[in-house]
Structure 1
Amino acid sequence: MLSSGLPQGAVPKLERPGPLRDRVYEALLELITTRALQPGQHLVESELAGHLGVSRQPVREALQRLNTEGWVDLRPAQGAFVHEPTEEEADQLLTVRTLLEAEAARLAAAHADSSGIEVLNELCAQGMKAVASDEVDAAVALNARFHAKIMDLAGNAVLAELAAQVDRRVRWYYTPVARQRGRQSWAEHRNLIAAIVAGDEQEAARLMREHTEHTRKSYHERAKP
């Protein structure tokens, strides 16, 4: 365990080329959204710089950007901390997600082709395998890819752009409930694929609304005994 609480192997390698501050920003954002850096965790510039193999300046710049975007809280005389989302913040974001995803599912049912359906089936099979092996990080990543593929099949660039803006926060909120949702989530994906294959736009939208609502409720119930 590293001194700042990062699991061994969790720190991503910084890819080149690209401005260093941008690569540090992406690395830190990935650590936050995957919860390798936990909500409320103190972020020490020198430690993060050491883990990433950079100077403190690009880390400071990245933290300022993350603060502006609501991922990090900069507290006077205390330093930087990973933002702790409120229940209201999560609820609002997941509600918006439901609206976007339901429309994407409806459009996917109208436009999906056989190759797109094949990709969805493969992602679903991989997701079920990850759940069976209790590979939570893999299941979360596959869940994001599954929903992104539905968005792609919808064929609406504006809708896809809006969804991309909330995608990382959806992953942030989904990760704590991924194990709890488990097989049920992927069973819901199977039903959704069936509706898309049948070209049933209204059923696909309904199933997606139910699916995303289950995730929203699971998030709010995660801390209950």
Structure 2
Amino acid sequence: MSEPATPFPGGAVNRRRATRGTLGDSAARKVERPAPLRQAVYEALIELIVNRTLQPGQHLVEIELAEYLGVSRQPVREALQRLQTEGWVDLRPAQGAFVHTPTEEEADQLLSVRSVLETHSAKLAAENANPSDVLVLEHLQLEGVDALENLDVDRMVAANAALHAFITKLSGNAVLAELIGLVDRRVRWYYTPIARPRGEDAWAEHDQLIQAIAAGDAEQASRIMTAHTERTRLAYHEERQAQANS
């Protein structure tokens, strides 16, 4: 009886040689370690875009950004290239880099997806929350209301994000939390210009949502979150139209 054929005749030595031949020159490349400075510059630029310090359509000059952040131009250039890949920045030939201006369709698609995810999140939160969790939600609510009364937009946006993030945490669904995390920054980007006009209604809706979660009423929490996120979506479009007509 003949021995079965092996994919690498000659044993382990030839098997290693064949593997090196398959990978070619890339086998000699090393895994690049993350660069802390590059990542820090990337994170800083995203936050400047999200909080509207860098406005949609604004020209981004490498040397100015480098001076502002206290770094060299190289990590800024690398960060801008990454931001362009992720849709935060537009790189235009012979013109330079510009903060991306989201289209109505882009915003609508993202806010619609957010509505679906957060509606399910609210339902699960109502099923899982205990009295201590409700106290945390009430504390976050007070922070948002105080920011609203003081017309502090940055605090309003941060409090809104924190409240929604805690509801997501209460859902206990890691996959859901990961998906919501993927859209969180863009939601904050879209929410910032409507935080003040939307504020009073938004925080009243948050209060109703917390009551439903405290009562363990999953269906009511779902309905309130659906209406809440839909009103935010419509408010964003109304704000864009108002800007276009001004």
Q: TM-score scaled by structure 2? A: 0.84
Paired amino acid for 1:45: E
Q: 1:92 maps to what in 2? A: 109
Paired amino acid for 1:60: R
| Shift of residue 113, structure 1, vs aligned partner | 1.2
1:194 aligns with 2:223: no
CA distance in 2, matches of 1:115, 1:152: 14
CA distance in 2, matches of 1:77, 1:149: 45
Q: Identity of paired residues, percent?
A: 65
Q: Superposition pairs for residues 41-190 of structure 1, below 5 Å?
A: 41-190=58-207
Q: What is the aligned-residue RMSD (CA, Å)? A: 1.1
1:33 aligns with 2:50: yes
Paired amino acid for 1:159: L
| Shift of residue 18, structure 1, vs aligned partner | 6.0
| Shift of residue 19, structure 1, vs aligned partner | 1.4
Paired amino acid for 2:152: E
CA distance in 1, matches of 2:131, 2:82: 42
CA distance in 2, matches of 1:148, 1:18: 28
Q: TM-score scaled by structure 1? A: 0.91
| Shift of residue 116, structure 1, vs aligned partner | 1.1
CA distance in 1, matches of 2:216, 2:130: 10
Paired amino acid for 1:196: I
Question: Which structure dedicates a bigger proportion of its chain to helix?
Answer: 2
| Shift of residue 63, structure 1, vs aligned partner | 0.2
Name stretches of at least 5 consecutive residues in structure 1 with no aligned partner. Answer: 1-16
- SS for the counterpart of 1:80 is strand
CA distance in 2, matches of 1:125, 1:107: 23
Paired amino acid for 2:208: N
CA distance in 1, matches of 2:148, 2:35: 35
Total equivalences in the alignment: 209
Larger Rg: 2
2:41 paired residue among 24, 28, 32: 24
- SS for the counterpart of 2:216 is coil
CA distance in 1, matches of 2:137, 2:109: 27
| Shift of residue 183, structure 1, vs aligned partner | 1.2
CA deviations 1:177-204 (Å, max 9, x no partner) are: 0001111100000000011111111110
CA distance in 2, matches of 1:185, 1:67: 32
Runs of 4+ in 1 over 3 A off after TM superposition: none
Name stretches of at least 5 consecutive residues in structure 2 with no aligned partner. Answer: 1-33
